[in-house]
Amino acid sequence: MASHRRPKQPSRTRVTVLTTAAAAAVALSAQAANAAPSEKLSKDEVKTKVDKLYEQAEQATEKYNGATEKQEKLQKEISTIQDDVARGQQDLNKLRDGLGAMASAQYRSGGIDPSVQLFLSANPDDYLDKASTLDQLSGQQVDALKKIQDKQRELSQERTEASSKLKDLDSTRTELKKQKQAVQNKLAEAQKLLNSLTAQEKQALEAEQARANRSSQGRVDLGDVPAASGHASAAFAAAQSKIGTPYVYGATGPSSFDCSGLTSWAYAQAGVSIPRTSQAQAGAGTRIYSQSDLKVGDLVLFYGDLHHVGLYAGKGMVLHAPRTGTVVRYESINNMPFQFGVRI
């Protein structure tokens, strides 16, 4: 006998879930179909973004250079203080030995003075603070004790100073690591953008950069623009000898440079020591605010935060190490936001 039972109907809850899921799937499909694919940047757009990243990398580079310079200065200062402490300790030991010899002589001549005996087994600072004790000492003993006390205080101050500088050095090293990472991150981001280009686009961009490097490496006609000074002329000549040398962040020559590395190296060849970073070089001499007053060899500072520096070459040109991917070369002063010149 055939069964006339109706087939089991799906529950209301199950129907609702299935319906909702189906609707969501349809909506997602429609959204995916209608969404515009992410647009690939053109070669020129990539170049613009990469140039900006290189500029940001140079900003971080100057901070890195500043931290490096501070680290080196602190290390020298700490070394000097530690040498002074070591010498001071030797002097203190000699003073103590002298007082000990004095006590021995007293002992041989009839017994050590109780006050000297107390000193040899106690802190002289505490000891000398008791005025009544001084009455029990000879003039020679008082002089010896005061010398020891002064030397101990001097050593204590030097050790405190060394401790403070060591803490400063530790924080400087942290900052150095931070800025180095910032530079590397910007360069990696720029490289990622460059890698998004096709082989043909990459080739075209590299050829464009090579042409820019070649066209700006020739000697400029300085005309009748005088050098700022004999030292400025010598510094500029030294920088000229490095035309075509690659830019490398943190480099100070002679085979690679960053912007302030080139200027500080050039002036060093002229026998003049200037600070390492562009911001510090901004305060190294007399500021020249009018471009028309600039002379060959003057430092030229760019950007509001002064993170870039070059040497004035004459006729509206600067000689500088621009950024990653370029070489030491000439460029129009108007290609960057001029702030002021500095005459060393």
Q: How far apart are CA 130 and CA 135, in angstroms?
A: 10
Q: How far apart are CA 146 and CA 152, in angstroms?
A: 10
Active site residue 308: yes
| Angle ∠(159,178,172) on CA atoms, nearest 5 | 15
Catalytic residue among 4, 231, 259, 307: 259
Burial class (CB in 10 A: 0-12, 13-18, 19+), 315: middle
CA 310 to chain centre: 18
Select from 248, 278, 71 the least CA-distant residue to 175: 71
Q: Which two tokens stand for residue 79?
A: 């070394």
Q: How far apart are CA 328 and CA 322, in angstroms?
A: 7
Active site residue 4: no
Select from 235, 241, 245, 327 the least CA-distant residue to 274: 235
CA 323 to chain centre: 16
Q: Contact at 8 Å (CB) between 300 and 309?
A: yes
Residue 172: partners with Cβ closer than 8 Å, 6 or more residues away: 67, 70, 71, 74
SS3 state of residue 142: helix
Which helix (H) or strand (E) is 250 found in, with range? none
SS3 state of residue 242: coil
DSSP bridge pairs for 227: 296
Please name the residue ranges forming H helices in 196-296.
199-215, 230-240, 259-269, 278-281
Active site residue 259: yes
Select from 12, 27, 166, 142 the least CA-distant residue to 85: 166
Select from 319, 297, 292 the least CA-distant residue to 308: 319
Catalytic residue among 4, 231, 307, 308: 308
Q: How far apart are CA 136 and CA 9, in angstroms?
A: 115
Among all residues, which ones are annotated catalytic? 259, 308, 320
